Amino acid sequence: MLPRRPLAWPAWLLRGAPGAAGSWGRPVGPLARRGCCSAPGTPEVPLTRERYPVRRLPFSTVSKQDLAAFERIVPGGVVTDPEALQAPNVDWLRTLRGCSKVLLRPRTSEEVSHILRHCHERNLAVNPQGGNTGMVGGSVPVFDEIILSTARMNRVLSFHSVSAWSLSAGILVCQAGCVLEELSRYVEERDFIMPLDLGAKGSCHIGGNVATNAGGLRFLRYGSLHGTVLGLEVVLADGTVLDCLTSLRKDNTGYDLKQLFIGSEGTLGIITTVSILCPPKPRAVNVAFLGCPGFAEVLQTFSTCKGMLGEILSAFEFMDAVCMQLVGRHLHLASPVQESPFYVLIETSGSNAGHDAEKLGHFLEHALGSGLVTDGTMATDQRKVKMLWALRERITEALSRDGYVYKYDLSLPVERLYDIVTDLRARLGPHAKHVVGYGHLGDGNLHLNVTAEAFSPSLLAALEPHVYEWTAGQQGSVSAEHGVGFRKRDVLGYSKPPGALQLMQQLKALLDPKGILNPYKTLPSQA
């Protein structure tokens, strides 16, 4: 981090983010990030097949001969111990549970190919699994599907920088099981960054990120993985290895096949290797955390922010007051500003510390003077930047500690983004513990969450299909960045016309005619 040129900031702006080291500075491991509970006595998660109306398709079951074949393909990589299989059978929200009896841990694309060839011949269903951090049940089995884990496929294959384009960039080629945070550390040591950043970065795998087309905190600046992924190696259902692993920025030779697999959630093929474009590491990063008196002011702050900060704006996140209360109550993180109805987090990233700080300072002075912002703080050093980001990134963890969580990930017109939260608070009343809204305002992406003491069929009936009907009424999307998985497969009709659903089914039938790849996910049970 380069030193900043001092400016004449308002007094409120210079106030540091409060909180003792015990609140801000404690290490956050993968389990904490994922909101997992490992305490003794945790209630067992009901089996998915018992909680939801789903029937097992006519796949074969794993035999002793199959296990022997798998052991030949991946020696030492066949897991059948029931205790070891408990965690990979359960999603991290602890709301879905399969009953797989086999987990395979290949190291190479060749091993994945041999596994799928065998499963295709035997009609054995396969559930690909990365870090198991998904929100919609796409990474855990529904019945007894074989879990194919990419955890041991964690090698960086190459990295090189290219300066032939208008801006320098790095090209990373790695196996699908590399953890996002470890990749971030790897490329940052070489003065580049990953084009995506997620709250689950300490656990999620890059292959899973690509398979779900994960969005995250850098979407506003760097766009989606459809643009930053340069190439993929994918193993198809019959074991065929599809090599589309180019590192070219432009390739206009026919169909761009890799795009089929970005966001397909492992239903069309298993991603084994990724080639991805890495932007240069910003030399100057500033974060401001501000309180706003209402959502109208949040919207106006965003509009003003875009106009005044322009090219250096890299993130604009918002959260409501209840989010802040839950982060304080469950995670003991103190608010750095006075209590407000809404909060926004603004990040700038650029190459000139003095230039960026001056632009941000002018914007903040304008926002304060015009009443858009009532209080705020700014961070310029890495420690305080992480402190402020923790308030936003750990909301999911705080919600998981508040009770059973009904989660919705919606794309909506920005001006209507928060209306559904107000609507649900009135609709649900005391039946819900909390109704909160937060997310990526710059992308029109709302994370709508409802907490309750326990799962309630009546509360679910009050939420669905109402939330999806309301979203469709705004021409929104029922899944902005979390994917479809098991949970949302039968609500795709609210966002996709029948013709699109039919074509998706046809693509699935073409690439996976036996339907063995991640069954019961992504596609409607009846299109």
Convert the pLDDT of each residue in 242-267 to its tens digit.
999 998 888 899 999 999 999 999 99
Predicted pLDDT of residue 512: 98
Helices (H) and strands (E) in the chain, counts: 21, 16
Backbone torsions φ then ψ of 232, nearest 5 degrees: -140, 150
Phi, psi of 394 (to 5 degrees): -100, 10
Q: How confident is the model at residue 442 (pLDDT cuts 50, 70, 90)?
A: confident
pLDDT tier at 8 (50, 70, 90 boundaries)?
very low
Residues 69-91 have pLDDT tens digits of: 999 999 999 999 999 999 999 99
Q: How confident is the model at residue 22 (pLDDT cuts 50, 70, 90)?
A: very low
Residues 140-148: what's their mean pLDDT?
98
Residue 114 binned pLDDT confidence (cut-offs 50, 70, 90): very high
pLDDT for 526 equals 61
Evaluate if residue 25 carries a pLDDT over 70.
no
pLDDT of residue 92: 86
Please tell me the predicted confidence (pLDDT) of residue 43. 76
The overall average pLDDT reported for the chain is 90
Strand ordering across the sheet containing 434-440: 375-379, 284-292, 342-350, 313-320, 434-440, 445-452, 404-411
DSSP letters spanning 251-314? --SS--THHHHTTSTTSS-EEEEEEEEEPBPPSEEEEEEEEESSHHHHHHHHHHHHHHHGGGEE
Question: What is the pLDDT, as a whole number, of residue 445?
Answer: 95
Q: What is the pLDDT of residue 338?
A: 95
CA-based Rg of the chain, rounded to a whole angstrom?
23
Each residue of 328-383: pLDDT tens digit?
999 999 999 999 999 999 999 998 888 998 999 999 999 999 999 999 999 988 89
pLDDT in tens, 189-222: 999 999 999 888 999 999 999 999 998 888 888 9
Which residues are CB-contacts of 166 (< 8 A; sequence separation ≥ 6)? none
pLDDT of residue 33: 35
Query: According to the model, what pLDDT value does residue 42 have?
Result: 61
Q: How far apart are CA 236 and CA 243, in angstroms?
A: 11
Look at residue 167 in the predicted model and tell me its pLDDT. 55
Return the residue matching tokens 């693509």: 507
Q: What percent of the chain stands above pLDDT 70?
A: 91
Tell me the mean pLDDT in the region 381-409. 94
Calculate mean pLDDT across residues 503-515.
98
- Lowest mean pLDDT across 229-233, 309-313, 445-449: 309-313
pLDDT of residue 217: 85
pLDDT band at residue 12 under the 50/70/90 scheme: very low
CA distance 23 to 328: 10
pLDDT at 35: 33
Contact 526, 246 (CB under 8 A): no
Give the span between the Cα atoms of 236 and 326, in whole angstroms.
44
- pLDDT for 6 equals 32
ω into 465 cis (within 30 of 0): yes
- In 3-state terms, what secondary structure has residue 234? strand
Q: Is residue 527 predicted with pLDDT exceeding 70? A: no
Kindly state the percentage of the chain with pLDDT values over 90.
82
pLDDT of 169 reads: 86
C-alpha to C-alpha distance for 161 and 458, rounded to whole angstroms: 55
Q: What is the mean pLDDT of residues 35-43?
A: 44
Checking if the pLDDT of 32 tops 50, the result is no
Q: At what angle do helices 295-309 and 353-369 cross, to 10 degrees?
A: 150
Mean per-residue pLDDT, 92-108: 95
Segment 157-191, tens digit of pLDDT: 999 987 654 457 899 999 999 999 999 999 999 99
pLDDT above 80 for 9: no
